[in-house]
Amino acid sequence: MAVPFDRDFTVEHGRVDRLSPLIRRVVAENPGRFTFTGTGTYIVGTDRVAVIDPGPLLDSHLEALDRALDGLTVTHILITHTHGDHSPAAQPLKERTGAPTYGFGPHPVTDAPIAEAPIPDAGTAPQEERSDLAFVPDVVTRDGDVIVGEGWTIDALHTPGHISNHLCFALREEKVLFTGDHVMGWSTSVIPSPDGDLTDYMANLHRLLDRDDTVYWPTHGPAITDPPTYVRALIAHRDERTRQIVERLRTGDERIDQIVPVLYADVDPSLHPAAGRSVLAHLVALERAGTVTTDDEAPTTRSTWRLRGTAPR
Ligand SMILES: [Zn+2]
């Protein structure tokens, strides 16, 4: 089943777009392989507002936020997770507004950078490929916590999978969900093992099916206007990928660098390292389920795998 991706999304970076009575968005000028057209920073409320994911430390974006927030009072800064395209601008925004930050916790120690290649000069490396090691929430936010502002009410959902500290935020007044990088309309989510966890990710997709959100607003790309259909397609896509990986092992592959070129033949080779991380996430989940095995205690994209019950070659 193909996931009905929607990449028909044109943005004007820095412009304030009114999306609904309570929601505005400003997209940062950080387009990229993992950010699509850039980070969408959401402003929720009318006069006293919450800002969700202030985004990367880009002067152009900070200036755009200043313009967008002119005349408003920021009372809350909400962080979906600590990747470099989501949380770094929380600090300057907090300094300007005095608003406290809300998030699950600091960056997890087990999270590896999404790009495996060494970053020679972090000063010029793409923000999206870095983690925000500096962020510490003022208010530690857990699953089920309710955040109340003027004219808006937000429920926090802990949704590990893409990263263990990921939160989604549900806006009760409009029955919509800010999905961060957990569910995006333009692409699947990267699940970088070991902190990224496919077992958790799948559980948190199934969990969304129990909700009745009418629209998803992801950090990157367009709104998802038929959430149940889209989430079911994501689940089917991952289940199919799992079956394909098991099939590759059955036919004799034992390493990710054998599996990826086959399963991702139609994908730009520059994305194969990320695909390898995704296959690793599937293999780790399969190992936990008892389907496959590896001799490595801390599996990497270079580990050797076999179906459980088959002899090592
Ligand atoms: Zn992310």
Listing DSSP states for 43-63 in one string gives EESSSEEEEE---S--HHHHH
Question: Omega of the bond prior to 194 within 30 degrees of 0, cis?
Answer: yes
Stated pTM of the model: 0.91
Tens of pLDDT, residue by residue, the chain (313 residues): 688 898 888 888 999 999 999 999 999 999 887 888 899 999 999 999 999 999 999 999 999 999 999 999 999 999 999 999 999 999 999 999 999 999 999 999 877 655 443 333 333 344 445 789 999 999 999 999 999 999 999 999 999 999 999 999 999 999 999 999 999 998 888 888 889 999 999 999 999 999 999 999 999 999 999 999 999 999 999 999 999 999 999 999 999 999 999 999 998 998 898 889 889 999 999 999 999 999 999 999 999 999 998 877 6
What is the 32 CA–ligand 1 centroid distance (Å)? 12
| β 40-44/152-158 pair status | unpaired
Write out the two tokens for 109: 């120690």
What is the 304 CA–ligand 1 centroid distance (Å)? 28
What is the 66 CA–ligand 1 centroid distance (Å)? 24
Please state, as a whole number, how many other Cβ atoms lie within 10 Å of the Cβ of residue 17. Answer: 13
* Sequence spans of domains, the chain: 16-226, 237-307
Reduced to 3 states, what is the DSSP secondary structure of residue 276?
helix
What is the 143 CA–ligand 1 centroid distance (Å)? 18
In degrees rounded to 5, what are phi and psi of residue 113?
A: -60, 145
**CA dihedral of 88, 90, 96, 98, whole degrees rounded to 10:** -150
What is Dmax (Cα atoms) for the chain? 68
What is the 71 CA–ligand 1 centroid distance (Å)? 30
- The answer to whether domain 16-226 and domain 237-307 are alike in fold is no
What is the 190 CA–ligand 1 centroid distance (Å)? 8
The residues near 116 (Cβ < 8 Å, ≥ 6 apart) are 273, 277, 301
- 237-307: which CATH topology? Arc Repressor Mutant, subunit A (1.10.10)
What is the 34 CA–ligand 1 centroid distance (Å)? 8
pLDDT for 109 equals 84
With b for 16 or more beta-carbon neighbours within 10 A and e for fewer, the 268-282 pattern comes to eeeebbbbbbbbbbb
What is the 181 CA–ligand 1 centroid distance (Å)? 5
What is the 23 CA–ligand 1 centroid distance (Å)? 21
What is the 309 CA–ligand 1 centroid distance (Å)? 36
CATH class of the structural domain 16-226: alpha beta
What is the 97 CA–ligand 1 centroid distance (Å)? 25
216 and 183 Cβ atoms separated by less than 8 Å = yes
pLDDT for 310 equals 80
In degrees rounded to 5, what are phi and psi of residue 33?
A: -65, -30
What is the 250 CA–ligand 1 centroid distance (Å)? 33
What is the 200 CA–ligand 1 centroid distance (Å)? 15
pLDDT for 120 equals 34
Write out the two tokens for 80: 């979906």
Write out the two tokens for 215: 């629209």
pLDDT for 107 equals 94
pLDDT for 63 equals 97
